């Protein structure tokens, strides 16, 4: 299944193939340039108004849907992808309550882009979603495929929450309400009114390139190539981002949601080397349609190298079926790419739900 958000975004960013100065017509929220496929030497796509008359738009729509009808070859042959069975482990609650090494990152995969990140005596959650469905109303095709790796009542006290953008599978109202007003919430520009409507304090809004301090831990807001919106009329009204957590000389990069772009090389140059990167590997098919906003495992490995990560963990897979690829395919595809690129399986791992590693 392809989400309505993705459909709207792609149709607004369709490519003009005429001439060397090709452009994407992209709608920019908060006057930010979304770096979708560099059109110029600075690595940032040009911003164009696009034609105002209907015929040109209709022609472009017909071209895009003609491409849609062309069936892509699967990344992994169907016969090599087993039926999906979520692999999970019982979380080590004693270890979660008292991590043995406060100077290292302890990371537990809860599901999708939700991780428990523990460092410096503080507990962070990334893009938390505990709901059974990642939409404003219950839709069976968007229901959860696997239970959260840590049951909500067994979470340790959460000190801070990192939000990458406002899509329903990353900013879940039910989960935020359960977490309550005590944690500090970090999010990109434009999302403050959403929290204000729930009368939440402890909110910290950041722009790309901005650094916030949280009890001696530096939290850097870094760019991503994505889009935002929770309804029909709010497309790209808020920003999207990734986060770098820096504590006692160690760094963790949470990519959030993104398509591939030269921006990752910039992140690696500014913040690398990265001790651990949480990089999405799912929701990528069909590629002609999803590549501007979601990386596939091959591009995820490029990000691993671009940000100079010593170790990476796969995210954004196996929890909700958002696009066409089978739910079991992303980690198989990732292993294939790692082998082809001469990297070990330990350098870029796919955790089981509830599994914890220390970096």
Q: What is the mean pLDDT of the chain?
A: 85
Please name the fold of domain 93-358.
Metallo-beta-lactamase; Chain A (3.60.15)
Confidence (pLDDT) at 71 = 75
Tokens encoding 208 = 């790309």
Mean pLDDT of 74-96: 95
Alpha helices, H only, the chain: 4-12, 54-68, 93-97, 173-179, 192-197, 263-271, 287-290, 297-306, 329-340
pLDDT level of residue 9 (50, 70, 90 thresholds): very low
Mean pLDDT of 156-178: 98
Alpha helices, H only, 208-295: 263-271, 287-290
SS3 138: coil
Mean pLDDT of 10-30: 34
Q: How far is the C-alpha of 153 from the C-alpha of 94, rounded, in Å?
A: 14
pLDDT surpasses 70 at 12 = no
Lowest mean pLDDT among 131-140, 202-211, 297-306: 131-140
For the chain, residues classed under CATH 3.60.15.10 are: 93-358
Confidence (pLDDT) at 68 = 58
Q: Which tens digits make up the pLDDT trace of 25-78?
A: 233 344 455 544 333 333 333 222 233 334 444 455 556 555 655 678 899 999
* 242-247 and 217-222 strand pairing: antiparallel
């Amino acid at each position: 299944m392809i989400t309505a958000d993705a459909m709207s975004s792609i149709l607004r960013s369709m490519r003009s193939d005429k001439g060397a100065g090709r452009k994407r017509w992209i709608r920019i929220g908060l006057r930010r340039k979304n770096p979708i496929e560099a059109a110029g030497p600075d690595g940032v796509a040009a911003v164009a108004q696009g034609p105002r008359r209907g015929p040109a738009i209709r022609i472009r729509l017909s071209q895009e849907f003609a491409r849609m009808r062309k069936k892509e070859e699967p990344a992994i042959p169907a016969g090599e992808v087993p039926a999906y069975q979520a692999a999970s482990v019982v979380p080590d609650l004693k270890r979660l309550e008292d991590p043995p090494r406060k100077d290292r990152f302890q990371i537990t995969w809860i599901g999708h882009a939700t991780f428990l990140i523990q460092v410096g005596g503080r507990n962070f959650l990334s893009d938390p979603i505990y709901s059974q469905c990642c939409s404003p109303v219950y839709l069976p095709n968007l229901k959860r495929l696997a239970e959260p790796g840590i049951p909500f009542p067994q979470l340790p006290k959460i000190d801070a929450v990192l939000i990458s953008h406002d899509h329903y599978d990353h900013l879940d109202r039910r989960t935020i309400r359960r977490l309550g007003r005590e944690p500090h919430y970090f999010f990109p520009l434009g999302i403050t009114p959403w929290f204000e409507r729930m009368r939440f304090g402890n909110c910290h809004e950041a722009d790309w390139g901005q650094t916030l301090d949280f009890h001696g831990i530096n939290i850097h807001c870094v760019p991503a190539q994505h889009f935002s919106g929770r309804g029909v009329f709010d497309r790209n009204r808020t920003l999207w981002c990734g986060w770098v957590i820096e504590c006692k000389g160690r760094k963790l990069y949470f990519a959030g949601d993104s398509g591939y772009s030269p921006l990752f090389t910039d992140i690696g140059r500014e913040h690398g080397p990265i001790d651990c990167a949480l990089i999405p590997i799912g929701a990528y098919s069909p590629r002609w349609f999803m590549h501007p906003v979601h990386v596939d495992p091959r591009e995820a490995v490029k990000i691993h190298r671009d940000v100079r990560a010593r170790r990476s963990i796969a995210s954004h897979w196996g929890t909700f079926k958002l696009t066409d690829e089978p739910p079991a395919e992303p980690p198989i595809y990732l292993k294939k790419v790692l082998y082809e690129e001469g990297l070990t399986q330990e350098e870029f791992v796919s955790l089981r739900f509830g599994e914890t590693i220390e970096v």
